[in-house]
């Protein structure tokens, strides 16, 4: 990276730290929650974009990975007492009852477990192409959910887990987001990342240029799953409760919406879209509820918010095929050029 | 010295025999051409040799090793690279990236080393970057190095395909209709160019072509395919005067009618 | 398990399988002709159920009128989805059309929640069908027998259409190669629309019978059957109509019998379809009756 870029990036991160410090103390809980969600969905979006956007694999199994991460982190951070309270139908399987690790390790273990599950799933599934891969990964994701609904002694089944310690705060979520962005950027710009893109562009050509398709697809899949697991863990800790119904296909759909809106080949797009969608999800909540205009109350229509999102996805995919950013990425060069252009025009007009 | 040999390889798609018992020999540093009317099975032969198709029967032996049944990436890693009849560049990626990616197969660093830019990876990346830039300049694409490959004019795209194939460090280069869509001047340049890279990179070249000027101009030997069957093989002079070849391309010759 | 109980379960399985078969046909026909997984198909099935429900509940139509109207409306809905969500993306990369299909599916579901209300409703009972009969030691609703009969009749009708009519030939031609079919004078757009119409109509019939068999309806009711029926189509060989029906029966009977014989696995009932899917994709991806499609390089 150019020296100038390093300075600018460091300055931005510093600004971010200052902002988080301010926000943690001064903003109300509602706004903080939205900010947290923005960061977490950034992680989730980037994790799915690596697999679907950069490597071109149509994987619809993301909810499964998020579930593994969420449950792992939850179980590893809940106290023994909380677990006893939760698992009233059937006691949790030892040694899970006593297991308790610091949040960082819980997240990492959750991520690793997700990655491992992805490895197991990927071995058979990634031999399939296109639609078949989509349906297979969807199938695996559903199997995970169904298993979680039935393993009463490990996941508490359909009851889900409540009173998960709310460790997630702006530091954790933005820390994770920044690290995810950094690692993804490093990966994508490396030889391996380019190999992923080659696979997306033309599998047959990539293979003919010596790239082992299966190995690289598995790599992409597993790394994506790792970050999905971490994101899931953060989310569970933020919300305090999780249950298998959270991890249905509609969850994968939300992340899919983010990466399609942002542009499937662009990390920058994913980040921007994650912020837009997370904010919109909360801000548009009013659509589902009644609006009190003073003189009249417009009754809320439950589900209208999701209609808006579905329609949004349709509009993007039909009319804005490449999303917000297409395959373009952020660069300091482009930002600086943006600001330098205007004076140039003024100069020309002046002559 | 024979470095590649196919022993009666046959390709059947259901009831259709696309290539029947094709036996080929490539000797070190030769330029060998495969010609024949459209649909004769030439690209299918290529695809069998490069592992895209698995031959229905027959053997392929490269440097003493049997390679039929191996996947394309394994075969490329052994030293056979190819270009495609319908250009298969990585469209959204830059010229540089297209060539750089073709270096990936020789990367020794693992993914962790790559992500965290550890010293071994940094060294390898620099070396591969230099090599890619060298090839790009050699192929006259230096001005376009950062451009999206799909934005290049057709002729340059074909050259990029060759640059990309060369980046895999091949011993044998298979060119599928390298002169397609070129005018006579461009074809002449290409002819000289193929000889040049053969010498500079110590290659053996096997190519499918329709431009007879190019074929007759540089080939040491030629194989002729028609409807999947090898109807002739020999040096350019022999092929040019072979009545079966003439018949295959033009129909029955005038002499035969009399 | 007694033989009678076994027979009872088997009949239920066959009945369920027939419903799956009807819906699976729609998936397989669309995939055959467009190489597209019509994610919205399950939700079209759901809409049909609601249309027939409202016909009776809100508009007071007699059930036979309501059912016919619902089938026609669903038919149009299916064709509308094709025109709006799929046709514009026919030349785009596969990913876009898949995303569009998923979007259409969710849009329909959420529209249903908004328009029909999220709380479950009770499908009208039709005595003619739901009267309980007793054959030997097995007692079942008349419906349970009617469903397989209806399905098989429709299947044969469809096969006749495909193999013996001009429209059917057009469908077969388009499913092989759009461009060539067009050059041969086939109206590709009309054929595609017709395919969606037929698939949707069959799903509608399946939906109505489903509503009578499982009277609790809600906007999400199409998701699981939709997924399972696509899996049924894959198992049978995607693109092959008879295969879809076969797959439907395998899934329906299998699901019921496994739970019947291993009651402890009831919670995993839905997983059966997914596990079967993965097994098939690993060992015979082209399905029981499928053909291999190779790509030209």
The pLDDT, as a whole number, for residue C297 is 58
B-chain CB neighbours of A201 within 8 Å are: 89-93
* Tokens coding A11: 């300055």
Would you say residue A350 has pLDDT above 60? no
The structural domains of chain B, with segments of one domain joined by +, span: 2-79+170-257, 88-155
Cβ-Cβ pairs closer than 8 A, A with C, add up to 115
Residue in C227, C263, C229, C266 with CA at minimum distance from that of residue C246: C229
Whole domain around residue A205: which residue ranges? 3-287+326-350
Spatial contact of B103 and B170, defined as CB atoms under 8 Å apart: no
pLDDT for the residue C173: 87
Of A131, A150, A310, the CB nearest to C110: A310
Contact yes or no for B93 and A197 at CB 8 A? yes
A153 assigned to some structural domain: yes
pLDDT for the residue A305: 83
Flag if A307 and C92 touch (Cβ within 8 Å): no
Residues of A in contact with B82 (CB under 8 A): 208
Interface contact B131, partner A, CB < 8 A: no
**Residue A190 in contact with partner chain B when CB distance is under 8 A:** yes
Cα of A202 to nearest chain B Cα, Å: 6
Which of A68-72, B222-226, C6-10 bottoms out in mean pLDDT, i.e. has the lowest? Answer: C6-10
**Which of the 8 DSSP states describes residue B148?**
B
- Looking at 3.30.1360, 2.50.20, 1.20.950, 1.10.3470, the CATH number of the domain C3-283 comes to 1.10.3470
Query: Are C297 and B13 in contact (CB < 8 Å)?
Result: no
> Would you call C39 an interface residue with chain A, using a CB distance cutoff of 8 Å?
no
CB of A146 within 8 Å of a chain C CB? The answer is yes
- State which residue of chain C sits closest to A255, comparing Cα positions: C99
Q: Contact C113/C219 with Cβ under 8 angstroms? A: yes
Contact residues on chain C for B53, CB-CB shorter than 8 A: 297
When pLDDT is averaged across residues A228-240 and rounded to a whole number, the result is: 95
Read off the CATH number of the domain in which A150 is found: 1.10.3470
Sheet-wide strand order for B16-27 = B16-27, B2-13, B57-62, B65-66
Query: Is A288 at the interface with chain B, CB within 8 A?
Result: no
Find which of A28-32, B152-156, C75-79, C183-187 is predicted with most confidence, using mean pLDDT. C75-79
pLDDT of residue C64: 84
Q: List pLDDT tens digits, range C234-260.
A: 999 988 889 999 999 999 999 999 988
Q: What is the pLDDT of residue A62?
A: 96
Flag whether pLDDT at B11 surpasses 70. Answer: yes
Kindly state whether residue A313 falls inside one of the protein's structural domains: no
Neighboring chain B residues of C93 at a CB cutoff of 8 Å: none
Q: Which of C192, C30, C110, C226 lies closest to A135, judged by CA?
A: C226
Beta bridge partners of B225: B230
Angle between helices C188-213 and C142-164 (to 10 degrees): 170
Using the predicted structure, report yes or no on whether residue A222 has a pLDDT greater than 50.
yes
Q: What is the 3-state secondary structure (H, E, C) of chain C?
A: CCHHHHHHHHHHHHHHHHHHHHHHHHHHHHHHHHCCCCCCHHHHHHHHHHHHHHHHHCCCCCHHHHHHHHHHHHHHHHHHHHHHHHHHHCCCCHHHHHHHHHHHHHHHHHHHHHHHCCCCEECCCCHHHHCEEEECCEEEEHHHHHHHHHHHHHHHHHHHHHHHCHHHHHHHHHHHCHHHHHHCCCCHHHHHHHHHHHHHHHHHHHHHHHHHHCCEECCCCCHHHHHHHHHHHHHHCCCCHHHHHHHHHHHHHHHHHHHHHCHHHHHHHHHHHHHHHHHHHHHCCCCCCCCCCCCCC
C297 in B contact zone (CB under 8 Å): yes
> Does C294 contact B47 at a Cβ distance shorter than 8 Å?
no
Taking 70 as the pLDDT cut, the residues of chain C under it are 1, 137, 291-297
Closest partner residue to C110 among A142, A204, A306, by Cβ? Answer: A306
Determine contact: C295 vs chain B, CB below 8 A.
no
pLDDT at residue B206, rounded to an integer: 96
- Is the CB of A211 less than 8 angstroms away from the CB of B104? yes
Three-class DSSP labels, A203-254: HHHHHHCCCCHHHHHHHHHHHHHHHHHHHHHHHHHHHCCECHHHHCHHHHHH
Q: How far is Cα A101 from Cα B161, in angstroms, rounded to an integer? A: 53
What's the number of domains chain A is made of? 1
Each residue's pLDDT tens digit, B186-221 = 888 889 999 999 999 999 999 999 888 889 889 999
The two three-digit tokens of residue B228, written as one number: 């999947």
C-alpha–C-alpha distance, residues B157 and B166, integer Å: 14
Per-residue model confidence (pLDDT) at position B257? 42
Chain B contact for A194, CB < 8 A?
Answer: yes
| pLDDT in the model for residue C132 | 80
Cα C110 to Cα C118: distance, rounded to the nearest angstrom: 9
Shortest distance between the Cα of A211 and any Cα of chain B, in A, equals 6
What's the distance, Cα to Cα, between the start and end of chain C in Å? 56
Interchain proximity A191–B114, CB inside 8 Å: yes
Which residues of A fall within a CB distance of 8 Å from B147? none
User: What is the average pLDDT score of chain A?
Assistant: 88
Q: Is the peptide bond before A19 cis (omega within 30 degrees of 0)?
A: no
Which of A205, A210, A223 lies nearest to residue B77, judging by beta carbons?
A210
Residue B254 scores a pLDDT above 70: no
Say what percent of chain A tops pLDDT 90: 55
Question: Is C227 in Cβ contact with A138 (below 8 Å)?
Answer: yes
Q: Could you tell me which chains touch chain B, where touching means 3 or more CB pairs under 8 A?
A: A, C
Chain A residue with Cα closest to C269? A146
pLDDT value of residue A203:
93
pLDDT score recorded for residue A293: 62
Per-residue pLDDT band at B258 (split at 50, 70, 90):
very low
Q: Which of B90, B103, B172, B175 to mutate to test the interface with A (most CBs of A within 10 A)?
A: B90
pLDDT of B256 above 90: no
pLDDT of A92 above 90: no
Query: Is the CATH number of domain B2-79+170-257 3.30.70.2750?
Result: no
Q: What is the pLDDT of residue A291?
A: 61
**A139–C231 C-beta distance less than 8 A:** yes
Lowest mean pLDDT among A106-120, A318-332, B7-21, C74-88: A318-332
Contacts of A among chains (3+ CB pairs under 8 A): B, C
Specify the pLDDT at position A2. Answer: 76
Q: Which residues of chain A neighbour C270 with C-beta distances below 8 Å?
A: 142, 146
Residue of chain B whose alpha carbon sits nearest to that of C292: B14
- In angstroms, the separation between the Cα of residue C297 and the nearest Cα of chain B is 8
| Listed residue (A226, A70, A265) closest to A160, CA to CA | A70
For residues C27 and C199, give the distance between their C-alpha atoms in angstroms, rounded to a whole number.
7
DSSP labels, A157-194 = GGG-B--------HHHHHHHHHHHHHHHHHHHTSHHHH
As a whole number of Å, the CA-based R_g of chain A is 22
Q: pLDDT tens digits, residue range B120-147?
A: 999 999 999 999 999 999 988 999 999 9
Note whether B18 and B228 are within 8 A (CB): yes
Residue B171: what pLDDT? Answer: 95
pLDDT of residue A343: 54
| Nearest residue, CB atoms, A207 vs list B71, B100, B109 | B71
pLDDT at B253: 43
ipTM entry: 0.91
Nearest CA in chain A to C234: A132
């Amino acid at each position: 990276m150019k020296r100038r870029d390093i300075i600018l990036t460091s300055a931005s991160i510093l600004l971010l730290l200052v902002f988080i410090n301010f926000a943690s103390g001064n903003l109300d809980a509602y706004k903080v929650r939205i900010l947290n969600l923005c960061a977490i969905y950034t992680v989730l979006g980037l994790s799915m974009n690596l697999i679907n956007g950069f490597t071109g694999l149509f994987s619809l199994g993301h909810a499964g990975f998020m579930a593994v991460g969420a449950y792992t982190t939850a179980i590893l951070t809940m106290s023994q007492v909380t677990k006893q309270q939760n698992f009233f139908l059937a006691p949790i399987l030892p040694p899970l009852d006593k297991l308790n690790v610091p949040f960082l390790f819980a997240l990492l273990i959750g991520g690793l477990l997700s990655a491992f599950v992805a490895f197991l799933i990927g071995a058979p599934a990634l031999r399939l192409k296109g639609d078949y891969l989509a349906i297979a990964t969807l199938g695996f994701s559903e199997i995970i959910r169904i298993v979680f609904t039935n393993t009463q002694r490990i996941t508490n089944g359909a009851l889900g887990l409540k009173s998960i310690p709310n460790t997630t705060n702006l530091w954790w979520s933005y820390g994770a987001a920044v690290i995810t962005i950094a690692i993804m950027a490093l990966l994508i710009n490396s030889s391996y990342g380019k190999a992923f893109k080659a696979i997306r562009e033309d599998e047959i050509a990539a293979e003919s240029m010596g790239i082992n398709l299966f190995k690289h697809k598995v790599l992409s899949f597993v790394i994506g799953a790792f970050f999905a697991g971490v994101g899931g863990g953060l989310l569970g800790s933020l919300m305090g409760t999780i249950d298998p119904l959270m991890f249905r296909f509609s969850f994968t759909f939300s992340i899919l919406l983010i990466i399609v809106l942002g542009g499937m080949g662009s990390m920058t797009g994913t980040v921007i879209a994650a912020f837009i969608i997370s904010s919109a999800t909360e801000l548009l909540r009013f659509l589902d509820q009644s609006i009190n205009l003073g003189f009249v109350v417009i009754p809320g229509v439950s589900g209208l918010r999701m209609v808006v999102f579905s329609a949004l996805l349709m509009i993007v995919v039909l009319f804005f095929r490449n999303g917000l950013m297409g395959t373009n990425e952020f660069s300091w060069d482009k930002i600086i050029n943006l600001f330098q252009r205007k004076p140039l025009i003024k100069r020309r007009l002046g002559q | 010295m024979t470095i590649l040999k196919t022993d009666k390889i046959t390709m059947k798609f259901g009831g259709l025999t696309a290539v029947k018992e094709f036996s080929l020999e490539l000797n070190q540093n030769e330029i060998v051409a495969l010609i024949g009317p459209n649909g004769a099975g030439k690209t299918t032969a290529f695809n069998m040799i490069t592992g895209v198709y698995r031959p229905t029967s027959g053997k392929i032996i490269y440097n003493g090793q049997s390679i039929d049944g191996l996947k394309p990436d394994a075969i490329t890693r052994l030293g056979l690279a190819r270009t495609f009849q319908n250009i298969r560049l990585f469209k959204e990626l830059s010229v540089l990236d297209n060539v750089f990616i073709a270096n990936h197969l020789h990367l020794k660093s693992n993914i962790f080393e790559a992500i965290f830019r550890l010293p071994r990876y940094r060294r390898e990346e620099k070396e591969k970057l230099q090599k890619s830039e060298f090839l790009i300049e050699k192929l006259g694409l230096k001005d376009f190095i950062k451009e999206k490959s799909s934005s290049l004019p057709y002729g340059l795209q074909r050259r990029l395909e060759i640059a990309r194939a060369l980046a895999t460090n091949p011993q044998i280069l298979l060119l599928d209709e390298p002169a397609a869509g070129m005018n006579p001047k461009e074809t002449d340049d290409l002819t000289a160019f193929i000889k040049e890279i053969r010498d500079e990179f110590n290659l053996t070249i096997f190519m499918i072509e329709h431009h007879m000027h190019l074929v007759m101009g540089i080939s040491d030997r030629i194989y002729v395919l028609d409807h999947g069957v090898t109807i002739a093989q020999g040096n350019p002079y022999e092929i040019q005067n072979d009545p079966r070849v003439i018949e295959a391309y033009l129909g029955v010759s005038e002499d035969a009618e009399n | 398990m007694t033989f009678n109980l076994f027979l009872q379960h088997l009949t239920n399985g066959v009945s369920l399988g027939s419903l799956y078969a009807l819906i699976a046909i729609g998936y397989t026909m669309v995939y055959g002709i467009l190489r597209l997984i019509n994610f919205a198909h399950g939700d079209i099935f759901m809409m049909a159920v609601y249309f027939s429900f409202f016909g009776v509940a809100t508009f007071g139509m007699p059930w036979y009128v309501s059912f016919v109207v619902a089938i026609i409306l669903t038919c149009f809905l299916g064709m509308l989805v094709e025109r709006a969500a799929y046709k514009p993306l026919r030349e785009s990369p596969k990913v876009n059309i898949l995303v569009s299909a998923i979007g259409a599916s969710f849009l329909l579901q959420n529209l249903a929640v908004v328009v029909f209300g999220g709380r479950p409703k009770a499908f009208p009972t039709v005595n003619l069908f739901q009267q309980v009969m007793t054959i030997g030691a097995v007692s079942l609703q008349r419906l349970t027998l009617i469903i397989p009969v209806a399905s098989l009749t429709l299947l044969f009708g469809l096969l006749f259409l495909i193999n013996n009519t001009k429209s059917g030939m057009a469908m077969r031609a388009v499913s092989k190669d759009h461009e060539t079919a067009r050059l041969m004078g086939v109206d590709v757009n009309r054929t595609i629309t017709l395919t969606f119409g037929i698939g949707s109509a069959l799903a509608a019939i399946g939906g109505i019978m489903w509503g009578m068999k499982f009277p609790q309806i809600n906007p999400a009711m199409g998701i699981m059957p939709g997924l399972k029926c696509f899996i049924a189509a894959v198992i049978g060989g995607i693109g092959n109509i008879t295969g879809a029906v076969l797959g439907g029966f395998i899934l329906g009977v299998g699901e019921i019998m496994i739970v019947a014989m291993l009651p402890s696995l009831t919670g995993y009932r839905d997983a059966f379809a997914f596990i079967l899917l993965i097994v098939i994709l690993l060992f015979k991806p082209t399905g029981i009756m499928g053909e291999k499609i190779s790509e030209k390089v």
